[in-house]
Amino acid sequence: MEGIVNAYTKKEVEYLNAEQLGGKKENIGLTGSMTEVWKIFTPERKGEHIMLEGSIENMTKELTQYLKEDKLV
């Protein structure tokens, strides 16, 4: 937790390069990425929103049931 607090309160940004991280430049960033983004979009909303209420256990069971019904689990 201390590290997170210090990161927010520190005024100076520290930049590290591949060598300082113990890596190779060709394996880091865009050149080292094995993924390629073709399209960025906001998906259309499907269905309605559901608000779960009750205990964590009950909400977990209810959510699991919804996911099973939608064949996501």
Type of residue numbered 63: L
What would the two tokens of residue 48 be?
A: 């309605």
Determine the pLDDT at residue 59: 94
Domain spans, the chain: 2-34+47-69
CB count within 10 Å of CB 63 equals 13
Q: What is the pLDDT of residue 73?
A: 60
pLDDT in single tens digits along all 73 residues of the chain:
787 787 788 778 788 888 898 888 888 888 888 888 899 999 888 878 888 999 999 999 999 998 898 877 6
- Predicted pLDDT of residue 26: 87
CB atoms < 10 A from the CB of 7, how many? 9
